[in-house]
Amino acid sequence: MEDTHRTGGHADLGPSVRRLAATLVQRGVSPGDRLAVVLPNCAAAVELYLACALVGAIWVGINPAAPAAERDRQCALVGPVLTIADNMLSALETEQTETFDGAPPQLSTPCAIGFSSGTTGTPKAIVHTRAGVSLVAAVLAQSQLRAGDRVGVILPMSIHNLIAVGALPSLFAGATCVPVRRMDAAGVAAACHDLGLSRVNALVPATIYDLVHDDTIPPEALASLRTAGTGAAGLSEALREAFEAKFGCRLVASYGMTEAPGVVCIEDPDVPHTAGASGTPLPHLTVTACDVRGKPLLTGQEGEIIVGPADSGPWADLYSPAVGRWTADGLLRRPATEKTFRTGDYGWIDADGAVHVTGRSADVIVRGGVNVNAAELESVLAQLPAVRDVAVVGAEDTRLGQRIVAFIEPSNTAVDAESLRRCAREVLSHGKVPDEFVVTELPRNAMGKVARAQLLRR
C-alpha cells in the first residue's frame, strides 16, 4: 500500500493492523461498536478498516468533504463510540505500544456500514459482514487484477464500495493499492503520470468527459494505464469511444450497488465491449431479469434485475445479500432465508450473459399516461455537442400528471434552453422532448453521481 506519506509492503500490513487494533481496544472500542472514520484517501483509512474487522467493531466511513450537517446526521444515526479524523492519526501512531493477539470474529460478524448513494432520496445505512466483503474482494482479485498492478483508488474511500472493490482486492491480489486524493480530471492524469498507475477504479462520466476534452491533458498522461474502470450509468458509447481513441486504454464497464456490496457485473478487459452492456455477473453471482411476480424472463426481455448466489462452480452458494441496515433502533436484519436481492433497477440479459441496465423504477416518468424512461432520454441528450452531463426527472403537473424536466450541465460552449429544445426535437420523438430545460451545474454526491433528489428542490 502506498500514499503520499508512506509506503508499506504486504509483510508490514499485518503487524501494523494488529498494533492499530490494540490501540482501538485501549480507547474503549469493543465488538459491535461503530467507529466513524472521517479521513481523506490514505493508507491509514484501509488499516483502520482492517483493524475494525479484527476487533469485531463496525467501520463507518464518513466523507470529510461532506457538509457538516450531513456528517452529523450520519453519526447521529450510527452512534459511534469513537470518531477518527485526520488530526488524530499521529496520536494513534504514538499510542501503538501493544499488539492485538485475539482471534478474529466469525465471518458472519458485521464489519462495516456503507451509506447508499442517495441519488433518489435519503441514503440508507447498509450493514455488511466480513464474509460478504471478503467474497467480492477475492473474486475481483482473481478476475480483474495482476500481482504487479498499481491500483489507483480515485473516489473517496469513505464510500464503502471503494474499500470493497478497490483497496481490498488489491491486497488480495498482491497488488499495490494507491489512494489518490483528487478525483478531477487533472488529478487523475497527474496520479497516473506521477505514480505509474496501471488501473484506476470508478471513473465517473463527468471526469471521463473532462479527460477527453481537456487539451492540456495529453494522451501520454495516461500511458501507464492497462485498464480504467467505470460505472455504466450515464456513459454514452460516443464518450467511451473518444476516451479509448485518445488514450489507447480500455474502459471496463461495470454495474454494482452498495447493497451487493460493490460490483455485481463487470467486463472482461480481454473481451471486446458490447454496446450498452455492463459486463457479465461475477462468478459468485447470478443475475436475472424478472417480471413483477419475480418470474425469470427470457433472454432479451426487460424486467427488474434480481441478484442471487451462483448455483454452480467453485463460488456456488457462497453469496448472501447485505445483513441488513442500521436504523435509529439499531440493526434491522434481513431474514436469513433471503438469498436474493431485488435491486429496483430494470434491464435485460443478452445471449452472451451480459447485463444491460436500462434504468430504475423511479426513473420512469408517466407523462399524460405514457411511460417515458428517463435513462433513455439522458443517453440521447448526453450526445448533443453542448452537453457535458444531463439528468432527466419527472416533476408534478396538474394536467399531465408529470412533466419531463431536463437539467443540463453545459460544456464550455454557450448554450440556452431554446437551442437545446431545438436540438432535442431532432433526435427525440415529440412525446419524449422535455417540457422544460434547465441549464445549471448538477449537484453531485461523493461518488460523483448526480443527486437527483436535490434537483427539483432548487
Burial call 177-204: b when 16+ CB within 10 Å, e when fewer: bbbbeebebeebbebbbebebbbbbbbb
Topology match between the domains 1-105 and 119-280+312-342: yes
The parts of the chain modelled with pLDDT lower than 50 are 120, 232
Closest CA to 154 of 228, 244, 75, 259: 228
Rounded CA-CA distance 53/109 in Å is 9
Cell of 57: 467493531
CB distance 3 to 43 below 8 Å: yes
Classify residue 293 as left (phi > 0), alpha (psi -120 to 50) or beta. alpha
| CATH class, range 119-280+312-342 | alpha beta
Element (H, E) at 134: helix 130-144
Rounded CA-CA distance 84/180 in Å is 19
CATH of 368-455, one of 3.30.300.30, 3.30.499.10, 1.10.287.130, 3.40.47.10: 3.30.300.30
Rounded CA-CA distance 327/126 in Å is 9
- How would you class 142 by CB atoms within 10 Å of its CB: exposed for 0-12, middle for 13-18, buried for 19 or more? middle
Classify domain 1-105 at the CATH topology level.
Rossmann fold (3.40.50)
Rounded CA-CA distance 269/246 in Å is 18
**Contacts of 338-341 spanning 24+ positions with Cβ under 8 A:** 339/308, 339/309, 340/306, 340/307, 340/308, 341/259, 341/260, 341/306, 341/307, 341/308
pLDDT of the residue at 233: 54
Q: How many C-beta atoms lie closer than 10 Å to residue 47's C-beta? A: 20
Rg of the chain over Cα atoms, rounded to whole angstroms, equals 22
| CA angle in degrees (0–180, nearest 5) for 32-46-96 | 75
Domain ranges of the chain: 1-105, 119-280+312-342, 368-455
Quick one: angle between helices 10-26 and 43-55, nearest 10? Answer: 60
- How would you class 271 by CB atoms within 10 Å of its CB: exposed for 0-12, middle for 13-18, buried for 19 or more? exposed
pLDDT of the residue at 369: 66
pLDDT of the residue at 300: 95
Rounded CA-CA distance 105/111 in Å is 10
> How far from the centroid of its chain's Cα atoms is residue 129's Cα?
18
Dmax over Cα atoms in the chain, in whole Å? 70
Q: What is the pLDDT of residues 116-143, one digit of tens each?
A: 865 545 678 999 999 999 999 999 999 9
DSSP states of 365-426 as a string? EEETTEEEEHHHHHHHHTTSTTEEEEEEEEEEETTTEEEEEEEEEE-SS---HHHHHHHHHH
Closest CA to 167 of 300, 70, 50: 50
Q: What is the pLDDT of residues 141-172, one digit of tens each?
A: 999 999 999 999 998 899 899 999 999 999 99
Cell of 80: 459511534
DSSP states of 78-89 as a string? H--SEEEEGGGH
Pairing of strands 150-153, 199-203: parallel
Element (H, E) at 75: helix 68-78
